[in-house]
Each structure stands twice: as structure tokens, then as C-alpha cells.
Copies of this chain bind each other. A is one copy, B any other.
Amino acid sequence: MQSDGPTNAAEDQRPLLYLEDLPVGRRFVTGSYVMEAEAIKAFASQFDPQPFHLSEEAAKATLFGALAASGWHTAAVTMRLMVESGPRLAGGVIGAGTEVKWPKPTRPGDVLHVEGEVLAVRASQSRPGRGILSMRSETRNQHGDVVQTMTTDLIILCRGPAE
């Protein structure tokens, strides 16, 4: 496992972004992450213990035809890439809800990255100081194939008078 984004908040060079800093249409691209076969099996044995995620041999007789990562593993790796090298949101990357599709499986050795875009930004009526940021993202492999699309509503802080 590895990714090329910063992991330590103190070293993080990315600007801290508030609701006001994220116009609709703003795009971003994350660093990348190699999905190793051993990591695919380790995730699956904890969270999605099915033959096509656990064993090259057993996967052959299934719909996937060969070892494939759990969609939840692809989603979790997408989250890691977003947290480490996506937009650095004030208050953190906190999802309220999300819609995810997995058009193609993630395979061992795939090098994933995430490309995203701000779809909508709105201030909360009921909670002053907060808002919702809708973001669409595509998780792509080294061939440019989309292995996951996601539309997520994130909780975002407004820039206060002091910031």
C-alpha cells in the first residue's frame, strides 16, 4: 500500500478550503494508489469474504472471472486518496451521503487515482456556519477506465468572520 499524498497535517501544503472557496465546476485530481493482490484479499477477508475477492483460483468460476477488489475496498481507497490529496476541506472530509457505482472491477495491480468536480455548493438554512458541498468523482485505473463513480454530499464549514 502506498499513495503519494501528504499524510501529516503539519506538513500539509494544501490550502484549507471553506464553502466560499469552492466554486461550482472546480476540478481536482488526486495522487495515485496501487491496489495489490494481497491488500484485496486482506480487505475481503475482513469485510467482504466472497470467493471472487479472496482467491485467484476461486474467482475463475465466478461472474468476475478473476480476482477483483470488493467495491467497498475501491470506495475506501477513493476516500484515502481524497483525504490525502484531494481538496483540503476545513473541518475535514465528512460525507452525509453518497451514490456509488462500480462500472468495472478493480483488479490486482491497478493504479487508481481520483478525478473530481464540485457540482453544487449551498449554505445550510438550519445550521449557520455550515453548508453542503456536492462533489462528483471518478476513480480511474492506469488505462483510464472508470472503476467507480461517486456523487457525494459533504459537510463543509463557512469561512467565519475570523478566518
Contact = CB atoms under 8 A, between A and B. Distances in A.
Interface of A: 1, 7, 9, 43, 46-52, 62-63, 70-72, 75-77, 79-80, 83-84, 91-102, 155
> What secondary structure prevails in chain A residues at the interface with B?
mixed
Nearest to A94: B63
A96 B105 CA distance: 10
Contact of A80 (B47, B52, B91): B47
Contacts of A48: 76, 79-80, 83
A63 B155 contact: yes
13 contacts: A46-B76, A47-B80, A48-B80, A49-B80, A49-B84, A52-B92, A63-B155, A71-B98, A76-B76, A97-B102, A98-B99, A99-B100, A100-B100
A49 B102 contact: no
Contacts of A100: 97-100
A8 to B, nearest CB: 10
- Chain B CB count within 10 A is highest, among A46, A62, A77, A155, for A46
A48 B92 CA distance: 10
B50 A83 contact: yes
